[in-house]
Amino acid sequence: IEDCNPGWGDCDGNVPNGCETQLGTVQNCSVCGDACTYTNASGSCNAGTCQMGACDSGWGNCNGTTADGCETQLGTASNCSDCGDACTYAHAGGSCNSGTCQMGACDSGWGNCNGSTGDGCETQLGTVANCSDCGDACTYANATGVCSSGTCQMGACDSGWWDVDQSTATGCECGDGSDVSGSCNTAVGVGSISSSNTSITRNGVIVHRTGYREDADCYSVSYDDPAMSPGRLTITVDAGLVFDLWRDSCGSQECDEQDVFETICDPPDVGTVCDA
């Protein structure tokens, strides 16, 4: 056979049956044996040219060439629902489940604090705002918070506050509302003692604990009585406190870290006693 009619071919090589095979089909597209077959995909013949059709379910043509068909298996972390659909998340693992990306556990030291997978585990932990986990804020009343190796710790008290009960739950709960001068020369006057005003009481907060700021409040009291009579002047403070006593406008110190002072002018008992 010299030439077959257009669209036909002698595909079996048998002259008696002539050009027995119709071309333009998937098995014999442009010529005999030109089969339109593609890996993991359908094929078609269009005007004598093979064309690759849709990929089989679960496969994709991720390299963009028809020579190897749909060469890439989908449903993986690299190509989940389609080519290039990578299940990657900031500071977290990712997996593909039935064609849908899912974010796994956050990397150590990171948290998904905004609840969105779009930015992965976006928040670094181990900070004062997010110490062991999201929202684990190291906050303490009137004190600085510190995050150390994922554990909140209370730092220094704010000025004028103390941790008297030694409990971090209450922070630095004791505040000095009477934080007056700590110098004798600038002591706060609390009044005068006389025969008509025999007692003065001053309330305040004076706290000292090793490791915290020492506190001292200075007050002055005067004795001014035109009709003086024999008697005793006594100064005491609450348990756990001591005082220094100065006389004559801070000219001379009578007591040093004592808790009781008495000056006696009741002959034959006359004198001054400091007794800690």
User: pLDDT of 223-233, one tens digit each?
Assistant: 776 666 677 77
Between 231 and 259, the more confident residue is 259
Q: What angle do CA 90, 85, 120 make, to 5 degrees?
A: 15
Please tell me whether the peptide bond between 16 and the residue prior to it is cis, using omega within 30 degrees of 0.
Answer: no
Final residue belonging to a domain, choices 35, 54, 73:
73
- What phi and psi, each to the nearest 5 degrees, are found at residue 129? -80, -35
Task: State residue 218's pLDDT score.
Answer: 85
**Is residue 140, in this structure, part of any structural domain at all?**
no
> Do β-strands 49-55 and 41-46 pair in parallel, antiparallel, or remain unpaired?
antiparallel
In this structure, is residue 133 part of a structural domain? no
Q: Is residue 134 part of a domain?
A: no
Of the residues 24, 55, 73, the one at which a domain ends: 73
Q: What is the pLDDT of residue 165?
A: 86
Q: What's residue 254's pLDDT? A: 84
Split at pLDDT 50, 70, 90, the class of 61 is very high
Q: Identify the residue with better confidence: 273 or 104.
A: 104
Which helix or strand (DSSP H or E) is residue 125 part of?
none
Q: What is the mean pLDDT of residues 175-198?
A: 79
Tell me what pLDDT residue 212 has: 52
- How far is residue 50's CA from residue 59's CA, in Å, rounded to a whole number? 20
Say what the pLDDT of residue 127 is.
98
The parent domain of residue 206 ranges over 184-274
Tell me which of 73, 100, 127 is where a domain ends. Answer: 73
pLDDT in tens, 72-96: 999 999 999 999 999 999 999 999 9
Q: Is residue 189 part of a domain?
A: yes
Six token digits for residue 127: 């900070």
**pLDDT, tens only, 235-257:** 888 877 788 888 888 888 888 88
Domain count across the chain: 2
* Calpha distance 130→147 (Å, rounded): 9
Q: What is the model's pTM?
A: 0.55
Q: Label residue 112 by pLDDT band (50, 70, 90).
A: very high
What helix, strand, coil percent values describe the chain, rounded to 5?
Answer: 0, 35, 60
Does some domain include residue 153?
no
Question: What confidence tier does 170 reach under pLDDT thresholds 50, 70, 90?
Answer: very high
Lowest mean pLDDT among 36-50, 87-101, 130-144, 216-230: 216-230
What pLDDT is attached to residue 148? 97
**Which two structure tokens, joined as six digits, stand for 41?**
């995909």
Burial of 122 (0-12, 13-18, 19+ CB in 10 A): middle
- Look at residue 274 and tell me whether its pLDDT is greater than 90: no
Q: Residue 18: inside a domain, yes or no?
A: yes
